[in-house]
A and B are shown apart, each in its own frame.
Chain A
Amino acid sequence: MAAALASQSAAAPILTLSGVSKRFPGVRALHDVGLTLRAGEVTALIGENGAGKSTLVKILTGIYQPDEGEILIDGQPITCDGPRDAWAAGIAAIHQETVMFDELSVAENIFMGHMPLAKGGRVNWFNMRARTRHVLKRLDADFDADALLRNLSVAQKHLVEIARALSHDARIIIMDEPTSALSAREIGELFVIIEQLKKHDCAILFISHKFDEIFRVADRWTCLRDGEEVGSGAIADVTHPELVSLMVGRPIGSVYPKRDVKRGPVVLEAEDISNATEFDGVSFQLHAGQIIGFYGLVGAGRSETMQGLFGLSALTRGSIRIDGKSVKLHSPDDAIRAGIGYVPEDRQTQGAVLPFGIRANMTLASLGAHARNGFLSYAKELATTRKFGARLSVKAANWEQLVGQLSGGNQQKVVIGKWLASHPRILILDEPTKGIDIGSKAAVHEFIGELASEGLAILLVSSELPEVMGMADDIIVMHEGRIVKRFARGAASAEAIVGAALGDHGAHA
């Protein structure tokens, strides 16, 4: 960090973050991170999924408060106790998914929360429109202050967000993956806007996974890994491979208990499966006892591919064979009957029924096996719950305890137990350890290894590189909906995997 501060350029720092740490129960999200933003410069913040970028943004925007460290603006320490303080300090964030009001006008969107008032507390529409037009003109926008937001394109909505930031006299603008929803032409337009903001002496924090964009637009960079700052400097002094190795450069521990399992016959075969918008031409073979890891950036189409396999979305092309027999999976019910289980990515919204007890959750995917002529057997349900509850060492007061009352790790164990109770032969695990504490994580990893050694065929979708490299026999890397690389266990370096996920084909294996 000292080196970063030493290489100061002519521009004065507007914002300096030093020694910032943030902990969550069981997780160290940020540790002693520093960051400097200068007027008229774009600083790229890079790092893998989960490196702490989002936490840093949330601290800057006042959503989280740091446990240690300080934030200086123009050399003065500030505290951001909430989003309003951040706005007041001149910090504005433009998010991945724009959060705005579709049915209101551009002017109303820009001034929501701080509308100029006339006498008697009425909204001063005249003033508001005039100020909106002024800001829009500054941004060279081609739409009117009275336009309804829903009639604008995604790029134009981004402009509105930027206009909103400028209306607050924001001098520090955070752009969190601003290009992920934009077309190539719209990205070009955004970069023009960024140049204009630089001319107006704004400091910009630009977060992106796309290296070509970073090299095009950024002046400086800061890299995070596992919540720590691992380097920073000027973009002109660094190369693309250097940044990639900084992002991933961590020892992959041998804590992953994947055992060497004799591979059984092919259980699942996907051939050229495609969906209208999310994934295209995905093919692979999965053997009994094999774990295939799917790695890629958020939005690479991995979960969507799994949902297609599970009958949750329609395939436009391609075929699925189970045990060599062609199957058509039109609904999750078909997939469950075919022997597939799916532990989804989001435990709270897709996995568990929170107002249900553990027993009712555990048997939900296999109600047929727990019923005779449609009547449920409490005894059978209890036996299943006891069996898988004990196997997964679910910690709870009793089997009727509401799942909403359990810790994240225990909730995830219940969801996994639910799918094991359906006796699948193919198990899809989508980010199985996301957001759970370290202890439960290790237990889940141990358990996944055990399942594979019992002959279960497993598809493991994970954005955590060590998890994929440690657990999977084979790694499939996806980028923008397509498979870009396949690696056998141990045959790939972390750099090669991340490089493939970022979309540079075989640049550095």
Chain B
Amino acid sequence: MKLSRLLLPRDFALALIVIGLIVAIGVRAPVFVTPDSLVGVLTDTSFLFMLTLAQMAVILTRGIDLSVAANLALTGMICALVSRALPDLPIAGVIVLAIVLGAALGAVNGALIAFLDIPPIVVTLGTLSVYRGATFLVAHGAWLTSKDMTPAFLAFPRLSFGGVSILIIIAALVSFGFWVLLGHTRLGRGLYAVGGNPVAARYCGIELGGQQFFVHTLAGAVSGLCGYLWVSRYGIAYTDIAQGYELTIIAACVIGGVSIAGGIGTVAGALLGALFLGVVVNALPVINVSPFWQMLISGAVILTAVVINARSAKRPGKLILRPARNLEGTA
């Protein structure tokens, strides 16, 4: 496997930028670049890694899922409630519940989009509110804190193996899963195809609807998994957890080079986009920069990324003509 097949040039550039950022922060605050601190950043960013990949799959099909954070909150709340009601439920059961529940909420999006042909942004804007509202209602507005959770429920996200948090391991497994799915399966190729050219894909027997249903269900399953992990890691469940997080996730996709127009995006790029935001969010407090600078910086980075993407999308048109003519000429 050549490196060029693993990392596109722009992914490589983004990797250099992330490394440069870490080094620059390290110069000002050496404490940030200690192994412990860096592992901490990765642990904190685990949720963003997984959710960014799920969002990327949706965006590849020219869709968008605004409901992922609301799904996360609702699933997390229900997991906490179920665990309180059934303290003997093994943790594996809670995780399966979280994934199935999240997938079901995602499938609602998928069904409305694929079978009723409603635009993804409209459907998920609606379910975003519905799921948030339901989160409040299922708990009757109550906050569930670590006192309401069983020790096993709380312990799982704190497991670590050789200093590496289970959250990082789960994120790595999910990333590997997405890498296989998107790069090496028929299904994944179909996602890129419907995003790249839905009409041509249809002529090849790949229907957009089925792909949309699949990606929204998948995004739901990942959101559900993150829902349990989020609630148990932070030891709290209430209506507003991860409020607005969907925008951070979409931002990570854009920074990672995922085209909002569909059909373009890599696992490596999406992970780097998430890592970039993770580093910014974790590093700025270390060097005593106000959290409002964080928002400003990530916004500026998104705009820069979009401008760079737009420019590099134009450039091939100019570059190609020459080699193409050469080819014709030698023929």
**Which A residues form the contact surface with B (CB < 8 A)?**
310, 312, 331-333, 335-336, 342, 344, 349-356, 360, 364-365, 367-368, 371, 374-376, 378, 395-397, 402, 404-407, 418, 439
Residues in A with CB closer than 8 Å to B323 are: 397
Cβ contact within 8 Å between A367 and B199: no
Cβ contact within 8 Å between B203 and A312: yes
Residues in A with CB closer than 8 Å to B204 are: 332, 336, 364-365, 418
Cβ contacts A to B, 30 pairs, < 8 Å:
A312-B202, A331-B207, A344-B200, A350-B199, A350-B200, A352-B200, A353-B193, A353-B200, A353-B201, A353-B263, A355-B264, A356-B193, A356-B196, A360-B192, A364-B193, A364-B200, A365-B203, A365-B205, A367-B189, A374-B186, A376-B184, A376-B185, A376-B186, A376-B189, A378-B184, A395-B331, A402-B316, A404-B316, A406-B324, A418-B204
Instruction: Name, among A344, A395, A418, the residue most crowded by chain B CB atoms within 10 Å (CB to CB).
Output: A395
Nearest 3 CB-CB pairings of A with B: A333-B205, A353-B196, A405-B320
Interchain CA distance A216-B264 in the complex, whole Å: 54
Taking the closest CB of chain A, its distance from the CB of B180, in whole angstroms, is 8
A360-B192, A371-B186, A376-B185 known; A396 and B203 CB under 8 Å? no
Q: Does B129 touch A at the CB level, under 8 Å?
A: no
Cβ contact within 8 Å between B327 and A336: no
A333 closest partner in B (C-beta): B205
Cβ contact within 8 Å between A405 and B324: yes
When the two chains form the complex, which single residue of B200, B205, B316 contacts A336, counting CB atoms closer than 8 Å? B205
When the two chains form the complex, which single residue of B185, B202, B316 contacts A332, counting CB atoms closer than 8 Å? B202
Interchain CA distance A402-B196 in the complex, whole Å: 12
Taking the closest CB of chain A, its distance from the CB of B188, in whole angstroms, is 8
Taking the closest CB of chain B, its distance from the CB of A368, in whole angstroms, is 7
Interchain CA distance A351-B202 in the complex, whole Å: 10
Residues in B with CB closer than 8 Å to A310 are: 203
**Interface residues contributed by chain B, number (CB under 8 Å):** 29
Taking the closest CB of chain A, its distance from the CB of B315, in whole angstroms, is 11
Chain A facing B: main interface SS = mixed
Taking the closest CB of chain B, its distance from the CB of A345, in whole angstroms, is 11
Residues in B with CB closer than 8 Å to A364 are: 189, 193, 200-201, 204, 206
A364-B189, A374-B187, A402-B316 known; A407 and B328 CB under 8 Å? yes
Instruction: Name, among A353, A367, A407, the residue most crowded by chain B CB atoms within 10 Å (CB to CB).
Output: A353
Taking the closest CB of chain B, its distance from the CB of A294, in whole angstroms, is 18
Using an 8 Å CB-CB cutoff, how does the interface string of B241-275 with A read, 1 for contact, 0 for none? 00000000000000000000001100000000000
Interchain CA distance A350-B193 in the complex, whole Å: 12
Residues in B with CB closer than 8 Å to A378 are: 184
Cβ contact within 8 Å between A367 and B200: no
Residues in A with CB closer than 8 Å to B184 are: 375-376, 378
Taking the closest CB of chain A, its distance from the CB of B241, in whole angstroms, is 36
Residues in A with CB closer than 8 Å to B203 are: 310, 312, 332, 342, 344, 350-351, 365
Q: Does B190 touch A at the CB level, under 8 Å?
A: yes
Interchain CA distance A344-B200 in the complex, whole Å: 9
B313 closest partner in A (C-beta): A355
Cβ contact within 8 Å between B189 and A360: yes
Interchain CA distance A312-B207 in the complex, whole Å: 11
When the two chains form the complex, which single residue of A332, A368, A396 contacts B186, counting CB atoms closer than 8 Å? A368
B207 closest partner in A (C-beta): A331
A407 closest partner in B (C-beta): B324
Q: Does B145 touch A at the CB level, under 8 Å?
A: no
Taking the closest CB of chain B, its distance from the CB of A347, in whole angstroms, is 9
Q: Does B34 touch A at the CB level, under 8 Å?
A: no
Interchain CA distance A81-B196 in the complex, whole Å: 35
